[in-house]
């Protein structure tokens, strides 16, 4: 609010801008979110969504006709008004031309991820969803709560065979290439040149983003605020890592709307 021209506002998608749903493909942001993000992008230096979703999914849900989406450097003077969309925890982003660009480091892992998904699908219990997301595969047991132990054991086995790293989430676990890419590295990249930064997130995958805010505050002197967006499923570790806690996507949208109004 003090200096929007040098402030970054970054957030997660699922559980933060969009309610959690049983079928991941059916997730939609709250009404008004795309327009609010576009308004914020015209007022603040950097506004972006950093998600575990594929970047193309974010473009479809958040950019929409007539809106710009890009993953250009925060210091690029041409970035004004553009919404930064970064998917798969930083393994994909949208470039200045609106094209999805994968990180070059993930290409050698695509076949490995495909094989891992096949193994996981072979004997998955009914209700367990195996979702391939390019260079990552997520196993959801929201539709089969009793399958949690099977998922944990099977994912550990596949991780050991393939070298893919397991990352827990909301009633899910995701296997990803063991690369130095996460929401924390994205936050550090997008806040370059800024004097203040905020991140809103709801899940364990957002912890690296909150940790990055802590490093930016301690080392670079940024003014930072981490906002935990919680509901009944939120791991206590998420709230403990944040400076502020709000209730669900409605609470997150209220924070963003307040900032948009304050920035004038």
Active-site annotation, residues = 12
Q: Which of 157, 176, 195 is the last residue of a domain?
A: 176
Specify the CATH number for the domain of residue 133: 3.30.70.1020
Q: Are residues 218 and 240 located together in one domain of the fold?
A: yes
**pLDDT, mean of each 10-residue run, the chain (264 residues):** 94 97 92 95 96 94 61 42 93 89 95 96 94 94 94 96 94 95 97 97 96 97 98 94 98 97 87
234 in the same domain as 165 = no
For 174, phi then psi, to 5°, come to -120, 140
Question: Are 203 and 87 in a shared domain?
Answer: yes
Asked if 118 and 171 sit in the same domain, the reply is yes
How far, in Å, are 44, 73, 102, 146, 182 from residue 260 at the CA level?
A: 9, 22, 31, 43, 27
Which pLDDT score is estimated for 212? Answer: 98
> What is the structure's pLDDT at 1?
87
| Domain boundary, last residue among 134, 154, 176 | 176
Question: For position 257, which CATH number holds?
Answer: 3.40.50.1000
Query: Does one domain contain both 90 and 215?
Result: yes
Whether 139 and 36 share a structural domain? no
Q: What is the pLDDT of residue 76?
A: 44
Q: Nearest CA to 199 among 172, 227, 219? A: 227
Residues 30 and 67 in one domain: yes
Nearest to 68 by CA among 98, 95, 40, 48: 98
Task: Return the pLDDT at 5.
Answer: 95
Spatial CA neighbour of 199 closest among 256, 138, 127, 117: 256
The tally of domains found in the chain comes to 2
Q: What single DSSP character describes residue 215? A: H
> Do both 190 and 98 map to the same domain?
yes
Range of the domain at 251: 4-103+181-263
Is there a single domain that holds both residue 75 and residue 185?
yes
Do 82 and 186 fall into the same domain? yes
**Same domain (yes/no): 86, 11:** yes
Same domain, 28 and 87: yes
């Amino acid at each position: 609010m003090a200096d929007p021209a040098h402030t970054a506002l970054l957030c997660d998608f699922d559980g933060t801008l969009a309610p959690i749903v049983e079928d991941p493909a059916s997730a939609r942001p709250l009404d008004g979110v795309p327009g609010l993000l576009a308004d914020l992008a015209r007022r603040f230096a950097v506004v972006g969504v950093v998600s575990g979703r594929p970047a193309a999914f974010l473009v479809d849900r958040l950019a929409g006709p007539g809106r710009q989406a890009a993953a250009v450097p925060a210091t690029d003077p041409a970035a004004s008004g553009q919404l930064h969309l970064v998917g798969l925890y930083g393994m994909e982003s949208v470039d200045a031309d609106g094209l999805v660009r994968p990180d070059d480091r993930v290409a050698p892992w695509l076949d490995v991820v495909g094989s891992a998904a096949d193994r996981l699908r072979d004997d998955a219990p009914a209700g367990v969803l195996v979702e391939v997301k390019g260079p990552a595969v997520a196993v959801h047991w929201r539709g089969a709560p009793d399958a949690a132990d099977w998922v944990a054991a099977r994912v550990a086995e596949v991780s050991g065979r393939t070298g893919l790293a397991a990352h827990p989430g909301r009633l899910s676990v995701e296997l990803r290439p063991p690369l130095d890419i996460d929401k924390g590295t994205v936050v550090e990249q997008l806040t370059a040149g800024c004097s203040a930064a905020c991140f809103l997130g709801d899940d364990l995958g957002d912890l690296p983003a909150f940790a990055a805010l802590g490093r930016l505050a301690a080392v670079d002197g940024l003014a930072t605020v981490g906002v935990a967006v919680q509901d009944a499923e939120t791991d206590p570790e998420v709230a403990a890592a944040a400076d502020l806690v709000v209730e669900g996507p409605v609470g997150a949208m209220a924070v963003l709307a307040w900032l948009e109004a304050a920035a004038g």
